[in-house]
Structure 1
Amino acid sequence: MAIESRNPFNNELIKTFEEETDHEILKKIELAQVAYLDWKSTNFTHRKELMLKTAVLLRDRKEQYAHLMTQEMGKAKREAIAEIEKCALACEYYAEKADEFLSNKKLEVPEGEAYIAHDPIGIVLAVMPWNFPFWQVFRFIAPNLMAGNIGLLKHASNVPQCALAIEEVLIDAGFPKGCFQTLLVSSSKVNMILDDDRVKAATLTGSEVAGSKVAERAGSKLKKTVLELGGSDPFIVLEDAEVKGAAISGAKARMINNGQSCIAAKRFILEKSIADEFLAYFKTEFENIKIGNPADENFDYGSMAREDLAIELEEQVEKSISQGAKVIIGGKRNKAFYEPTILSNVTAGMPAYEEELFGPVAVVLIAEDEHHAIELANDSRFGLGGSLWSKDIEKAKRLARQIESGAVYINKLMASHPAVPFGGVKMSGYGRELSELGIKEFVNQKTVWVA
């Protein structure tokens, strides 16, 4: 099976790769295991040096790597450059913090000395998506390499050049051969990799279907998983919010990465007293989006990552319209391009209400009051992130605790950062990435008690 690198903006075939054979996969797992036996005993000073070098190389090559993202999945150039900068930030964060995070934690015991030690576990498989092809991988590999683990990457099949570039930069930074390897394979090979006794755990960012399959297979072998799945994040604007600022931020929050982000704001829940004002500003922001070739830094949005994804989004919108939803702006598709769209009159039972819309479509829901707003926010099978806008900070903090999600940002659009935990509840998955919680997901938290 051939793996294609194809530009979604013009459908140009850039490069073709042959899928690796079972024998080649096993050789890479063997190399990873050999690397682990040495890497696990290296000290934090050495790991830190290599991770900081990786950050330097990422920044030096940001134009080159940003170009790969724009070519392979259509990311706007300025967002692609920002993604590389964010990867460098994650490398620096864990280079500086890993020793502290994984130091022995003293326990209060009735006699003797007791503490929790943090030991690496070995090879971790990462199954990663195309939408943030560098960031998704670095938020996995930076903490795990610093913890003494080894990474194997099965990346999305439409971003093979990005996957290989990540392996390249880590090797060039000085990480030993085998510490991180890219596997150019289809999803059909994941079970084989998970079944190998040398692979100790897996992390996946992707769809509910993919996540459940990986979790089921890993679970049958009693291997730990971390899953970051879909999201349909609420963006709640209360009547006492600064409405214009919320609308401007809301448009950015919906259109991050051409709307193709698990934590992009998707459901805009507005108290009815400010709904018209918000929508006026919101529509203007959508009208001002600069559409064109994503390789040109003057443009904000080019196309979705693949035509089939745009078709799927179109079907969700059209079915919602047939059930009564109204288009405020947008709603049309041309190949992989889908217009930035705002839908109103959305009600329960419609795809726009029940499903994740993974593209540039904002869903508007009207709430009678703040309590109704929370009810609407929680009326979803997803629970990844959320955003709440109000000038009354104490009230906002209280309401944030009532929202069923892995994170709530107050007067701020939802975005990941190395210093804060990232992950969801309900059908958005389990486990956490980033921060101290993220680096501890794949270590053995070992109790040591000395008499």
Structure 2
Amino acid sequence: MPIATVNPATGETLETYDALAEEEIERRLATAAAAFRTHRTTTFAERALRMNRAAGLLEEDEQEIARVMTTEMGKPVRQARAEAAKCAKAMRWYAEHAEELLADEEPAEYDVKDSGAAWVIVRYRPLGPVLAVMPWNFPLWQVVRFAAPALMAGNVGLLKHASNVPRTALYLEDLFRRAGFAEGCFQTLLVGSGAVEGILRDPRIKAATLTGSEPAGRSVASVAGDEIKKTVMELGGSDPFIVMPSADVERAAEVAVTARGQNNGQSCIAAKRFIVHTDVFDTFAERFTARMKALRVGDPMEEETEVGPLASRQGRADVEELVEDAAARGAAVLCGGARPDGPGWYYPPTVLADVTPQMRIHHEEAFGPVATLYRAAGIDEAVAIANDSPFGLSSNVWTHNGTEVDRFVQDLEAGGVYINGMTASHPAFPFGGVKRSGYGRELSGHGIREFCNITTVWHGA
């Protein structure tokens, strides 16, 4: 895949980039290793000063970088601005909290004495250069939620971004440089996917994080496993959105549209499977479908646009195949389902009902504005449908029944359970999944510690 900015609204290639030569990759790896030796000795106050400066610069650049993201991957420009603002917020959160999150810990006095020590502490030390393999769908946020905690912990980062967002990738390197981080603390590597294995096997790379597809995760995880290097994987998702009879169905239908249509439907944590109790199914389906059909599809640079084009021609083709397979096997297409005429890689908001396990879309992730509706006779069936997926990233449950809440929290196979609201990442809360959605956690204290050497310091009496 060429490294290029291609406008998905028109299909026009705007700019192409040469991949880094091996000599330049080597230079950047050496620079990262040298930068780590210095950066790891800086204080939390020094790092926080630079991270806060990066947040301020990003806020100043919000309009400009939003237009870059929209040009490269097609998200509505209003959503792109919101993404930039969210990144600045996360930077400031880690600047404020990193020191306390990584403070030395003292085991219980009883256990210290039992071990024969005069004192014991647990210290969090940075690992070194970390390779980040990141996707195009949230081209700023996915990177910042790794970079902010990693840099604040004393690590340095090398970014291999998706090949269709090179302008955003280069902006990030420049942002951290302008904020005062030393050369080599954060570098963008404009390379193809074929270069990742060699970089990951380099002994100067100490760990890796990947957000992306299951095949990409499997590839990187297998190489890292062979090298015995720590990884964090945030892969696909097919999150359930469960609506029970006690729910506010009107509100649930309204939020469901946002949960499915956000980022043109191209979000791992977007709700994709809508599992509705039979008592309220017809009401929910009618309101949800009407709202999906009414979403404004158009030029993502226009302020009123709610759904723009998919990011690539292949991405649209993948969504089309899933919908066509479902329709051929008996699914009812309640709205959408057909590619519009004209330029760009647009696909309409689509709702499918009567979905069965024989359809590909039941088990595969639909990375576009396509929702599937399921009817559940009760909570047992709702849980069974929700868990009948290879993915387990997050989940959404709508109910005002406390017993039902307890049951869903206990039994849903997911990294998050959001009650009467939609899944959203926040810097203070751990984020990640189970099953084929990956492992490890980003954000919060859990995320910043993922790439730390958790060191026991034992001092004899």
Q: Deviation of residue 393 (structure 1)? A: 3.6
User: What is the aligned counterpart of 1:183 among 186, 189, 206?
Assistant: 189
User: What is the aligned counterpart of 2:371 among 362, 387, 391?
Assistant: 362
Aligned AA for 1:268?
F
Q: Deviation of residue 114 (structure 1)? A: 1.2
Instruction: Measure the CA separation in 2 of the matches of 1:115 and 1:370.
Output: 47
Q: Deviation of residue 284 (structure 1)? A: 1.8
Aligned AA for 1:278?
F
User: What is the aligned counterpart of 1:233 among 235, 239, 248?
Assistant: 239
User: What is the aligned counterpart of 2:320 among 314, 320, 331?
Assistant: 314
| Farther-moved stretch of structure 1 (38-47 vs 290-299) | 290-299
TM-superposition CA deviations, 1:225-267 (whole Å, max 9, x none)? 1000000000000111110000000010000100000000000
Instruction: Measure the CA separation in 2 of the matches of 1:266 and 1:239.
Output: 20
Instruction: Measure the CA separation in 1 of the matches of 2:126 and 2:266.
Output: 33
TM-superposition CA deviations, 1:270-289 (whole Å, max 9, x none)? 00110000011101211221
**TM-score normalised to structure 1 length:** 0.99
Instruction: Measure the CA separation in 1 of the matches of 2:11 and 2:87.
Output: 28
Match of 2:281 in 1: 275
**Cα pair 2:121 2:456 within 8 Å, conserved:** yes
Match of 2:88 in 1: 88
Q: Deviation of residue 397 (structure 1)? A: 3.2
Instruction: Measure the CA separation in 2 of the matches of 1:365 and 1:95.
Output: 44
**TM-score normalised to structure 2 length:** 0.97
**Cα pair 2:83 2:138 within 8 Å, conserved:** yes
SS of the residue aligned with 1:114? Answer: strand
Match of 1:450 in 2: 459
Aligned AA for 2:259?
A
Match of 2:398 in 1: 389
SS of the residue aligned with 2:382? Answer: helix
| Farther-moved stretch of structure 1 (294-303 vs 108-117) | 108-117
Q: Deviation of residue 398 (structure 1)? A: 3.2
Structure 1: which 4+ aligned runs deviate by more than 4 Å? none
Aligned AA for 1:218?
A
Match of 1:30 in 2: 30
**Cα pair 1:232 1:356 within 8 Å, conserved:** yes
Match of 1:372 in 2: 381
Aligned length: 451
Match of 2:21 in 1: 21
User: What is the aligned counterpart of 2:426 among 406, 417, 422?
Assistant: 417
Q: Deviation of residue 22 (structure 1)? A: 1.1
**Cα pair 2:129 2:156 within 8 Å, conserved:** yes
**Cα pair 1:385 1:424 within 8 Å, conserved:** yes
SS of the residue aligned with 1:107? Answer: coil
Q: Deviation of residue 416 (structure 1)? A: 0.6
Instruction: Measure the CA separation in 2 of the matches of 1:258 and 1:302.
Output: 6
**Cα pair 1:54 1:173 within 8 Å, conserved:** yes
Match of 1:291 in 2: 297
Instruction: Measure the CA separation in 1 of the matches of 2:289 and 2:322.
Output: 21
**Structure 1: 5+ residue stretches without partners:** none
| Farther-moved stretch of structure 1 (297-306 vs 82-91) | 297-306
Instruction: Measure the CA separation in 2 of the matches of 1:100 and 1:113.
Output: 20
SS of the residue aligned with 2:206? Answer: strand
TM-superposition CA deviations, 1:13-33 (whole Å, max 9, x none)? 211110111111111000001
Instruction: Measure the CA separation in 2 of the matches of 1:6 and 1:357.
Output: 22
User: What is the aligned counterpart of 2:361 among 337, 342, 352?
Assistant: 352
**Structure 2: 5+ residue stretches without partners:** none
Instruction: Measure the CA separation in 1 of the matches of 2:402 and 2:334.
Output: 31
Q: Deviation of residue 2 (structure 1)? A: 4.5
Q: Deviation of residue 299 (structure 1)? A: 0.9
Aligned AA for 2:79?
E
Report matched runs for 1:392-403 at 5 Å.
392-403=401-412
Match of 1:79 in 2: 79
TM-superposition CA deviations, 1:342-379 (whole Å, max 9, x none)? 00010012012111111100000111101110011001
Instruction: Measure the CA separation in 1 of the matches of 2:143 and 2:6.
Output: 20
TM-superposition CA deviations, 1:268-321 (whole Å, max 9, x none)? 000011000001110121122111110111111121001110011101110111
Instruction: Measure the CA separation in 2 of the matches of 1:33 and 1:80.
Output: 33
TM-superposition CA deviations, 1:84-142 (whole Å, max 9, x none)? 00100110010000000000011122422112100001000000000000000000000
User: What is the aligned counterpart of 2:121 among 96, 115, 122?
Assistant: 115
